[in-house]
Amino acid sequence: MVFERINMKKITKIIIVLVLVLLVIGVVVFRKLKSSGLTVKAINLQNLVVRKTVTASGVVKSENFANLSFPVLAKIQKVNYKKGDFVKKGNILAIAYNYSTYQDSQAAKDNRDITKRDLDQFVQQYGGNKFKYGGIEEYDINLRKLKEVVNKAEDQYQSSLGLLENTYIKAPFDGSIVDITKKEGELSSVSEPLIKLADTNNLIFEMEVDQEDFGSLSENQSVEVTLDSFGSYIFNGIVYKLPFYANIANETGQNFTVEIKLPTDSSHKVLYGMNGDASILVETTNNNVKALQFDAIFDSGDGKKFVWVLEDNKLKKLSVQTGIEGDFLIEIKSDMPDKVYVPADEKVVLKEGKTAKVIE
């Protein structure tokens, strides 16, 4: 029994030693494999046009747009048109009820007409024989007085017409009524928008860009516009107008409103208020060029760029000269292989001279 206990102790010690040896060997092998066998993914060099764009959502609006209102507090007597109607410049769109102003205007008109009639009668009665009135001098003096009275009455009448104009809303240009905010009989406050008028023959696409993108924009740049109503159909427009000041977007930034001129000969009917997206073409290659995605190109820290290539399954840095940095790809101007390599995952750190294993 004593002999058996001694043998069991020896066997246990041997097993423990063997386990420790195997662990050490495993660690050494793992470290060796880890240092000599880095996993990478292959990235194919592409041949296509590289484009840099500024993209944002927006809405179709009008180059000519007006919020029309009465300049005085007024009760709406009549709205002559309805939403969607096309009107001509000068058409009376709405009338406010103001009886006293109308009466004052009529009284001023009557007074003006009376003074003109008195002048005409005086000239008709004494113009042919001025001596009947007391002579030429007396005639001329009274004629001037009557003309002054007529001019004063005319001024008063024109002034009353100006006040009467305040009870009208007239179309400032040809366009379509896109909204009417009140009904007949309701009160309209001073400068409260009552009718919204848009020139639907001169539509624009309005978008907002932030200040980081605004610096790369200029007028007449090409723009591709897609509208929600027409799926993937592309309207080819141009940057029509850039602002002189920024719109405060929030507490931390500013937005700039950019106007895009839309084509007028499209087979798709563009309507005021349609939503969509626009991509302004900032920079592009003229033809297909060699290109790589952004994460395949690395920065060496001194302003130069490089890619990882394989020589005899070992990693090597290859300096590259880049061109246009597009939305998703960068133009490559240097000669280089058809494939480059990137880490298989974030934990892999590539080192020059190390053996690499390419995985799918």
Token readout for 251 is: 């507490």
Residues 281-332: pLDDT tens digits?
Answer: 999 999 999 999 999 999 988 888 999 999 988 999 999 999 999 999 999 9
CA distance 348 to 38: 7
Q: Is residue 7 part of a domain?
A: no
What pLDDT score was predicted for residue 208? 93
Domain boundary among 176, 195, 214: 195
237 shares a domain with 180: no
Last residue of one domain, picked from the residues 195, 224, 258: 195
Residue whose pair of structure tokens reads 């009549």 in the numeric block: 78
Residue 32 lies in a domain: no
Q: 332: burial class by Cβ within 10 Å (0-12, 13-18, 19+)?
A: buried
pLDDT given at position 246: 66
Let me know if residue 1 belongs to a domain.
no
Same domain, 349 and 302: yes
pLDDT at 342 exceeding the cut of 90: yes
Separation CA 85–CA 92 (nearest Å) = 13
Binning pLDDT at 50, 70 and 90, where does residue 29 land? very low
Asked if residue 143 and residue 281 are part of one domain, the reply reads no
State whether 325 and 239 are in the same domain. yes
309: domain CATH number? 2.40.30.170
Mean pLDDT of 208-225: 92
Q: What pLDDT, on a 0 to 100 scale, did the predictor assign at position 9?
A: 61
**Contact predicate 254/247, CB 8 Å:** yes
Q: What is the pLDDT of residue 283?
A: 93
Give 299 or 7, the one with higher predicted confidence: 299
For 224-264, the pLDDT digits (tens) are 999 999 999 999 999 999 988 766 555 556 789 999 999 87
Mean per-residue pLDDT, 265-278: 89
- pLDDT band with cut points at 50, 70 and 90 for residue 3: very low
- Residue 115 confidence (pLDDT) above 70: yes
Per the structure, the complete domain to which residue 261 belongs is given by 38-63+202-360
* HEC secondary structure over the chain: CHHHHHHHHHHHHHHHHHHHHHHHHHHHHHHHHHHHCEEEEEEECEEECCEEEEEEEEEEEECCEEEECCCCCEEEEEECCCCCCEECCCCEEEEEECHHHHHHHHHHHHHHHHHHHHHHHHHHHHCCCHHHHCCHHHHHHHHHHHHHHHHHHHHHHHHHHHHHHCCEEECCCCEEEEEECCCCCCEECCCCCCEEEECCCCEEEEEEEEHHHHCCCCCCCEEEEEEHHHCCCCEEEEEEECCCCCEECCCCCEEEEEEEECCCCCCCCCCCCCEEEEEEEEEECCCCEEEEEHHHCEECCCCCEEEEEEECCEEEEEEECEEEECCCEEEECCCCCCEEEEECCCCCCCCCCCEEEEEC
Last residue of a domain, one of 195, 221, 239: 195
pLDDT beyond 60 at 347: yes
**Residue 92 pLDDT class (50, 70, 90 cuts):** very high
Q: Around Cβ 208, how many Cβ atoms within 10 Å?
A: 17
Read off the pLDDT of each residue in 123-128 and give the average, rounded to a whole number: 82
- Say if residue 100 is in the same domain as residue 129: yes
Is residue 334 situated within a structural domain?
yes
| 20 occurs within a structural domain | no
**CA-only gyration radius of the chain, Å:** 42
Mean of pLDDT over the chain: 84
| pLDDT surpasses 60 at 67 | yes
The answer on 238 and 180 residing in a single domain is no
Q: Which residues pair with 57 in a beta bridge?
A: 277
| Banded model confidence at residue 54, pLDDT cuts 50, 70, 90 | very high
Same domain, 78 and 178: yes
Single-letter residue type at 279: S
Residues 149-165 have a mean pLDDT of 74
Return the higher-pLDDT residue of 99 and 198. 198
| Within-domain flag for 257 | yes
Neighbours of 200 (CB within 10 A): 17
If asked whether residues 238 and 189 sit together in one domain, one would say no
Other beta carbons within 10 angstroms of residue 129's beta carbon come to 9
Residue 89 clears pLDDT 90, i.e. is over it: yes
183 and 228 housed in the same domain: no
In a domain, 239, yes or no: yes
* Residue 343, token pair as written in the block: 């880490």
Number of domains present in the structure of the chain? 2
Residue 18 lies in a domain: no
Contacts of 219 (CB under 8 A, 6+ apart): 238, 239, 240, 241, 242
Residues 17-37: what's their mean pLDDT?
Answer: 58
Does residue 119 carry a pLDDT above 90? no
Res 13: pLDDT: 66
218 phi-psi bin (left φ>0, alpha ψ -120 to 50, beta other):
beta
pTM, full prediction: 0.63
Question: At 186, which CATH number?
Answer: 2.40.50.100
> Is the same domain home to 111 and 191?
yes
Query: Is residue 331 domain-shared with residue 350, that is, in the same domain?
Result: yes
In a shared domain, residues 94 and 215: no
